[in-house]
Amino acid sequence: MATTPATRSIEDGGMGILDHLREFQGRMIKAVIAVAIMTTLSFFVVDDFIRILSEPYGGKLLVLEPTESISIFIRVGLTMGIAIASPIIIYQILAFVIPGLTPRELRLMRFIVPMTFILFCIGASFAWFLMIPTAIEYLATFAPDLFQVEWSSRGYVPFVMQLTMWIGVAFEMPLVMMFLAQLGFVTPQQLIRGWRLAIVGCVIAASVITPTVDPFNMALVAVPLMALYIISILFAYFPYRARRRREREEFPDLVAEEEADLKGD
């Protein structure tokens, strides 16, 4: 298992804990400054972005409070700023953590970081082009003889942004499991044995993420989550197999004893 920067410093006589805290503080300040700059730049295009968010609704959103339009404007701009500055934030975090990673974990991290961004974009696109139009159509046509659809910006904009964000995050699950398998925290066998709990977890997550309660929209979220769980097992297998091969070479007696215990169970 990789040592932390603080642990490594104690072992090699390097920086102490206070020095690492100062380093962490400095990197967080840089991340905050990046967010502030990107958020400021986002304010120049946030009105166009709000128009894009409003396209599934098909019209202007209502404003029910005096400061609602300003708060939505700031909220969207801040979200855009964080999203644009996310590579800088990730870099600052990795620059602090990387000294404690082994060379193998460092190589894996160089693969995971860009792939995480790609999978997030795929998940966000899936939500935007498939889930959101379906959900909006269902919600807009629900009991039309009882309700007149006039949504406010306070309810609509956060709903669209949160749904897009959480689906994008969910699509990153295979890479997270892959990295956890590399660190030895999970194994493919554990993931396979936990498939029942995984199904329950996917259904619960779908009920939380999905804005509607109908089975169709819940299945629209739950099925991809279950497929992502299966993909996570495949992603976890390769680093697990490589780690077990190294352990057999370094600790053959211990690995043989562990495998014998597993067969006995």
The pLDDT tens digits of the residues spanning 71-128 come to 989 989 998 888 888 778 877 887 777 676 677 777 777 777 788 788 888 888 888 8
The pLDDT tens digits of the residues spanning 210-226 come to 766 667 777 878 888 89
User: Does the structure show a pLDDT above 90 at 145?
Assistant: no
* Residue 60 dihedral angles phi and psi, to the nearest 5°: -75, 145
* Residue 246 dihedral angles phi and psi, to the nearest 5°: -65, -40
Nearest 10 degrees: CA dihedral of 166, 167, 168, 171?
120
Q: How many CB atoms lie within 10 A of CB 158?
A: 14
Residue 146: predicted pLDDT: 83
Q: Which of 33-37, 74-78, 191-195, 218-222 has the lowest mean pLDDT?
A: 218-222
Residue 151: predicted pLDDT: 84
- Percentage of the chain with pLDDT > 70? 83
Of residues 29 and 206, more confidence is placed in 29
Residue 162: predicted pLDDT: 81
- Torsional class of 30: left (φ above 0), alpha (ψ -120 to 50), beta (otherwise): alpha
Encode 222-238: b = buried (16+ Cβ within 10 Å), e = exposed: bebbbebbebbbebbbe
Q: What does the alpha-carbon distance between residue 240 and residue 244 come to, in Å, rounded to a whole number?
A: 6
Residue 189: predicted pLDDT: 86
What is the SS3 assignment for 104-157? Answer: HHHHHHHHHHHHHHHHHHHHHHHHHHHHHHHHHHHHHCCCCCCCCCCCEHHHHH
Which pTM does this prediction carry? Answer: 0.71
Residue 84: predicted pLDDT: 83
